[in-house]
Amino acid sequence: MTSRTLLNIKDLNISVKHRGSRRPLVHDVNLEVHAAESVGLVGESGSGKSMTIKAAMRLLPKNASVEGAVEFEDRDVNRLGRRELAQYRARDVSLIHQDPRAHINPTRTIAQFITEGVVHTGAMSEDAALERACALMRDVGITDAEKRLAQFPHQLSGGLLQRVMIVTSMLTSPRLIFADEPTTALDVTVQSDVMAILLEQIRDHHVAMLFVTHDLDLAAAVTDRLAVMYAGTIVETGASSDICGQPLHPYTAALLRSRPSTTEVRRPIAIPGSPLSAYEVTSGCSFASRCSFAVDRCRTEVPHPRLVEGRTVACHRVEEIADQFQERAS
Ligand SMILES: Nc1ncnc2c1ncn2[C@@H]1O[C@H](COP(=O)(O)OP(=O)(O)OP(=O)(O)O)[C@@H](O)[C@H]1O
Ligand SMILES: [Mg+2]
C-alpha cells in the first residue's frame, strides 16, 4: 500500500436550510483515503455517511451548504469548473449506489446506461466504452455480454444489475470508488458474490475505495482502515483490525457488542436509546446521551479528535475507560 493521499476531506461541515435556520448534518469531518487503500465509513442510519460521500463528489442537494475542503490529488473539488468537475466524476472517481434499480433509467438499455456518461464527457468513445464494458462484464462473471448490453434493466436480476454497476464504475479506470452500501439492497444469497467481485476488481485494478456501511464486521473484513461515524462526526479512525480487536471509543465498543458473534456464544447487547442526527445534538459529546461512561464534562464539552495509540479518537475519557470495554466484553 502506498501512502500517497488521493482524497483529503478537511474540516467538512454540511448544513441544510430548515424552517428559516441552518440544520447541521455533518460536523468537522476529517478523512483521508490513500492510493489503492480501502477505507470503511461505518455508522448507524442518519449518521451522515452518504452526505459525506455526496460532498466528496460534489453531489449534495442544492439546499446544502458546505464548509471545509474536499481535495482530490491536491485539487479542491469545490473549486473545479464545470468541465473539470464532469471529468473528475467521469475519470477520477466513481460511485456505486445501494440500490441499482433506483439509479438506472428503466427505458434505456444496459449499453446506453454504461456508456452515456463517459461518451457525454468525452472520456471515451462509444466503441471503446462498449469494448471495455464487454471485457469487464466477462471479468465480473456476466456471461453473454452482448446480449445483456441490448437488454433493459427490468430483464436483469438485482445481483446482475449491481455487477453492471461495478462494470460502469470501473469503465474509465478511476483511482477511487465510493461504494455506498453496495450490497445492502441485494438478496442475501448474492450479497457475498457481489462483494467478492467488487473486491477483486479494486484489487486487480489498484483502485482505492471508500466503503460505506452500517455493518462493522463487513467493513473490517474488506478494508484497511475504518472511520466510525456518529451523529454527523467521526468518533474513531484507525486500522480496521485494531478498531475491531480493541475499540477505544465507547460508541465503537457498543457497536461491536451489539452485533451477533460468529465465534463466541453471547447475547448481543443493544445500544440504549436511538441514533441521533447531528442537528439533534445540543451540547458536549454527540454520544453522551447513550454512553454508560459519560460524566458531566461529556455533556457540556465537545471532545476533539486526538491521537491515542496510533488512532484518532474523540472521547474525553478514552485513557480511563478503554480497558473496561475489554472486561465487559469478556
Ligand atoms: N436532502 C436532504 N435534506 C435534508 N436533510 C437530509 C437530506 N438528505 C439526508 N438528510 C439528513 O442528513 C442526515 C444524514 O443523512 P445520510 O443520508 O448521510 O445518513 P447515512 O449515514 O447515509 O444513513 P443511512 O445508513 O440510513 O443511509 C440525516 O439526518 C438525514 O435525515
Ligand atoms: Mg446512506
Note the ligand closest to the C-alpha atom of 52.
Answer: 1
- As a whole number, the mean pLDDT across the chain is 91
Q: Is the C-beta atom of 16 inside 6 A of ligand 1? A: yes
Burial class (CB in 10 A: 0-12, 13-18, 19+), 154: exposed
Closest CA to 229 of 52, 55, 43: 43
Percent helix, strand, coil in the chain (nearest 5)?
Answer: 40, 25, 35
pLDDT (0 to 100) of residue 133? 95
Between 306 and 2, the higher pLDDT residue:
306
Probe target for ligand 1 pocket from 9, 23, 51, with the most ligand atoms within 8 Å of CB: 51
Amino acid present at 125:
S
pLDDT (0 to 100) of residue 261? 66
Q: Is the C-beta atom of 25 inside 6 A of ligand 1? A: yes
Q: Is the pLDDT of residue 318 over 70?
A: yes
Q: Structure pTM?
A: 0.92
Residues within 5 Å of ion ligand 2 by Cβ? 50
Q: Give the three-class secondary structure for 305.
A: coil
Q: Is the C-beta atom of 260 inside 6 A of ligand 1? A: no
Burial 214-244 (b: 16+ CB within 10 A, else e): bbbbbbbebbbbbbbbbbbbbbbbbebebbb
pLDDT (0 to 100) of residue 266? 66
Report which ligand 1 atom has the smallest distance to the Cα of 232. 14
Cα 323 to averaged position of ligand 2 atoms, centre (Å): 32
Cα 22 to averaged position of ligand 1 atoms, centre (Å): 15
Q: Is the C-beta atom of 45 inside 6 A of ligand 1? A: yes
Give pLDDT tens digits for 204-254: 999 999 999 988 888 999 999 999 999 999 999 999 999 998 999 999 999
Cα 50 to averaged position of ligand 1 atoms, centre (Å): 7
Starting at the edge strand that comes first in sequence, how are the strands of the sheet with 64-72 ordered?
A: 21-34, 5-18, 64-72, 75-76
Give pLDDT tens digits for 112-143: 999 998 888 888 899 999 999 999 999 999 99
Amino acid present at 67:
E
pLDDT (0 to 100) of residue 135? 94
- Locate the domains of the chain by residue range: 247-329
Q: Mean pLDDT over residues 65-73, rounded?
A: 96
Q: Is the C-beta atom of 277 inside 6 A of ligand 1? A: yes
Q: Is the C-beta atom of 30 inside 6 A of ligand 1? A: no
Q: Is the C-beta atom of 61 inside 6 A of ligand 1? A: yes
Question: Which residue is closest in CA terms to ligand 1's atom 2?
Answer: 61
